[in-house]
Chains A and B, each alone.
Chain A
Amino acid sequence: MSPITAFPLRPARVHEACGPLAAALAAVSAAQSGGQILWLREAWRPESINPAGLAAYVDPSRLLLARTGNQTETLAVAEEGLRDGSVPLVVLELTAPLGLTAGRRLQLAAQAGQGTGLCLIPEGMGSPAAETRWHCSPLPDPGSAAGDSTLQRWRLIKNKSGTLGVWDVRWSPSARRLTVVSAARE
C-alpha cells in the first residue's frame, strides 16, 4: 500500500498533472507501469523530453512518441490509444483547456481500454472530467549529496474519489523507487 493516496494513478481513468515537474510525475508513472508508453506532443513545441534524462526512470526504448499537428489530433490519437488498451499508459501534453466533451470522451476511452491516461496541462487549465489533478514542483534539498537531489512536492489538488493531500517525495534512480520523505503540511 503506497503512502500516497491515489498514487499509483488509478487505472482506466484519465488524470492531470501540472506544475514545473509534471513530466517527472509522468516518468514515475511510466516506471511503475509495464509495457510501452505512448507519449503525445505537438510537433511545434520547442522543449522536448530528453531520453538520457528519462533513462533514470524508465528504459527509453519503451517510449513511443507521436508528434501531432494540433490539440485535436492529440486528443484523437490519445482516444485511439486509450481505447485500444495495448499501451498501459498514454501521456498527452496539452496546450489548451479541455472541453467537457473532450474530457468525458477520454474517460470513456480509458474505461474501454483499461489503460491510464495522464494529461500534462499548463497550470490552471484543468478540466472537470479529470479523475485526479496533481501539482508537482521541485524543492530545494541542501541535505542530499550534490547532483543527487530529486526532492519534489506533489500536491493532490483534485480527487474525485478520496481526499486531497501534499507529499514530499524523492526518486532514487538506482533503486528506481519513489520514497515519501514526509507528509508535508499545508
Chain B
Amino acid sequence: MFDGARRRVVSLWFPRLASDRALRARPVAGPFALTLRADNTNRIHCLNPEAERRGLYRGMAFSDARAYCPELLSRLADPMADRRFLTGLRRWATRYCPWVGIEGDDGLVLDITGAAHLAGGEEAMLGDLRQRLCRGGLTVRIGLGDTRGAAWALAHHGEGVAPPGEALAVLGPLPVAGLRLDADSVTALQRLGLRTIAQLAAAARAPLARRFGPGLLMRLDQALGTQPEEISPQAEPPHYGLRMNLPEPIGLQADVMAGTARLLARLCDKLNRQETGARVLCLTLRRIDSQSRHVELRLARPMRDPARILPLFARGIDEVDAGFGIDQLRLEATQVEPLPVEQISHAGPDRQGRVADLITRIGARIGLENVQRFLPADSHIPERSFIIAPAAFSRPETGWNIPCPRPLIIFPPEAIAASGPRPPRHFRWRRMRLTTLRATGPERIAPEWWLDDENWRSGMRDYWRLETTEGRRLWLFHTPQNPGWFVQGEFP
C-alpha cells in the first residue's frame, strides 16, 4: 500500500464568527452582542471579548445582559448572512489547498495533504492563515492533525499541532468533549471518571460500546486515525459573468453590439452546459472616464439563445451615452432559472417564444409587470372572479367557470336615482334617459365576510340585467340592506 504521504488536515474554528462579521462591517468600541429571537425572548447569539469580560455569555437573555452591562451595544443576528460569509471564507481558503469543506456553523476543514510545501511548510502555512484572518478581523483557532477528528479536537480545545503519527500523545490530555460527542455522553463519561482522551483510549472497548453504542468509539477511532473520515469539498456554484477589455475605446453602437454578441455567445455556452436560462441580464459598459453605464434586460422567460437575446439589447444600448469611449464590457446573468433541454417541435415556428420576446421588448418600455394576463379565481364577487397577473411570471390558465352571463365591460358602480327592490321603469344614467324593456334577475351575491372589502360594505347585492328600449344592456345591482341602485357593467 502506498504510504508516501500522510494525510494532514487543518481545522479552523471561528468562535466569534457572527459578531466578528458584524464588527467588520461597522466596528464599535466597548461591549457588543448580537441578539437572536428564540423561544419568544431575545437571547445573546454571539458577543465580543469585551462583553465576555463583563460576565455576559451566549444564550443569556438580552434583558438580563443589559441589566448587567448598561453600555452594551447590540444588533440583530443574521444567521443567513453568517452562512454566506462562511461560504465566502471557504472559497478564500482554497488558496491553500483544493479540498476545503465547511465544518458545522462556524468552522472550516482543509485537507492540506501534499499542499503544505507550496506555502513553505506547515508552520509557515498556519502562520500565514492566522495572520491573514486576524488582519481581516476574525478570531480563529487552528488545529492541525492527521485526521479531521484530531484537528477538530485541537482547534476547539487549546490549539496545537499533532505531529504525524503521534495523535494520541498530543490529544491524550485533551478532555473527551474534543471528540465531537453530544453533551449527554460527555457528562456520562465524566461520571465514569473518563475525563481525558488518553483515559478513554486506555479503557476497555467492549463495555464502552455496550454502554454508549458504536458512536463513541467511532469518534475516538476517527480522531486517532484508525477509521477513515472524508472531507467533502463543496462544488463552486457556477458564475455567469464575463468581461471583455478593449485595447482602444469604442463608441459606435454597432461595435458595442458586436462586443456584446461575443460575450453573449460565451455566456450562453455556459448556460447551455448548466441547463439554465438567464432571466435578468446586466451589461455594464465602463467608459474611459471610469464611469459605468448599465443596461439591464429583464426577459419574459428564461432564455439562452444568443441570436434571440442580442436584438433585445438593441434598445438599451441605443440609449447609452458612450462619452469618450467604452473600454470594458461586462455581461452578467444576475438571475438564472433552470431551463431543461427540450425537444424541438417540427410543427411550425415557435410562436410562444416570439410572443415571449415581444413581452420582453414591451416590458423594457413600460415595465415588465405592466404586461399582464387574466387568471381565473375562485370567487363569486365580480371584481374578484379573476386575477390580473404579470404575464412574464405566470402561465396561461384555462378553466374559466362562468355560471351566469357577465358583462363585457365593468366599471366602478355608478349610482342612479331609483328606489324599491324592482328595477326602475325609467332612469337616467350618464346623462341618458333610458327606459327598461326587460329585466332579468335578480342574482343575489353576498359579500365575502372573510375579506373586508370597502366596496362591499353596503351588504349583499341583487344583480339585474336590464335591456332598455334604447338598446343599451346594462348590469345593475340593488343593495337591499342599504337601499340604492347602481350600474356596474355593460353587456354587448
Q: Which residues of A contact B (CB under 8 A)?
A: 20-21, 23-24, 27, 35-36, 38, 43, 46-57, 59-69, 73, 76-77, 80-81, 84-87, 137-142, 146-147, 149-150, 152, 171, 173
Tally chain B residues at the interface, Cβ within 8 Å: 50
Tell me the nearest residue of chain A to B407, going by C-beta.
Answer: A53
**Which one of B154-162, B319-327, B465-473 is at the interface?**
B465-473
- Whether A65 contacts B408 by the Cβ 8 Å rule is no
Given known contacts A52-B406, A86-B357, A142 and B438 CB-to-CB distance under 8 angstroms = yes
Judge whether B492 and A27 touch: CB under 8 Å. Answer: yes
A59 vs B469: C-alpha distance in the bound complex, in angstroms?
31
Tell me whether A140 and B467 are in contact in the complex, defined as CB-CB below 8 angstroms, given that A50-B407, A61-B373 are known contacts.
yes
B362 lies within 8 A of A81 (CB) = yes
Tell me the chain B residues, 394-450 only, with Cβ under 8 Å from chain A. Answer: 396-398, 400, 402, 405-412, 437-438, 440
Q: Are B489 and A53 in contact (CB under 8 A)?
A: yes
In the complex with contacts A66-B366, A86-B355, A46-B411 CB distance below 8 A: yes
Q: Say which residue of A48, A66, A80, A141 sits within 8 Å of B409 (CB atoms).
A: A48
Q: Top 3 nearest A-B pairs by Cβ distance?
A: A47-B411, A24-B492, A86-B354
Q: In the complex, A56 Cα to B400 Cα: how many Å?
A: 10
Whether B440 lies near A20 (C-beta < 8 A) is: no
Which one of B42-50, B240-248, B269-277, B382-390 contacts A?
B382-390
Q: Please, how many angstroms separate the alpha-carbon atoms of A69 and B490 in the complex? A: 25
For the complex, give the distance between the alpha carbons of A140 and B469 in Å: 5
Which single member of A48, A51, A73, A84 contacts B411 (CB below 8 Å)?
A48
Q: Does B99 contact A (CB under 8 A)?
A: no
Across the interface, which residues of A come within 8 angstroms of B402, CB to CB? 52, 55-56
Chain A residues with Cβ under 8 A from B382's Cβ?
50, 52
Contact B396 A23 (CB under 8 A): no
Number of A-B contacts (CB under 8 A): 152
Are A73's CB and B472's CB within 8 A? no
Contacts of B472 in A (CB 8 A): 20, 138
Q: Report if B168 contacts A (CB, 8 A).
A: no
Please tell me which one of the listed residues A47, A60, A80, A152 contacts residue B365 in the complex, with CB atoms under 8 A apart: A80
Q: 15 more A-B contacts (CB under 8 A) besides A65-B373, A140-B471?
A: A20-B472, A38-B358, A47-B411, A52-B402, A53-B407, A53-B491, A56-B405, A60-B386, A61-B398, A66-B371, A77-B362, A86-B357, A86-B358, A142-B437, A142-B438
| Residue of B398, B409, B437, B491 contacting most chain A CB atoms (<10 Å) | B409
Measured CB to CB, the closest approach of chain B to A1, in angstroms, equals 25
Q: How far is the CB of A157 from chain B (nearest CB, A)?
A: 17
B489 cross-chain contacts in A, Cβ below 8 A: 50, 53
B57 is an interface residue with CB less than 8 A from chain A: no
Q: How far is the CB of A143 from chain B (nearest CB, A)?
A: 11
| 17 CB < 8 A contacts A-B | A27-B492, A49-B408, A50-B410, A51-B374, A59-B398, A60-B376, A64-B391, A65-B391, A68-B370, A80-B362, A84-B358, A86-B354, A86-B358, A87-B358, A139-B471, A152-B492, A171-B492
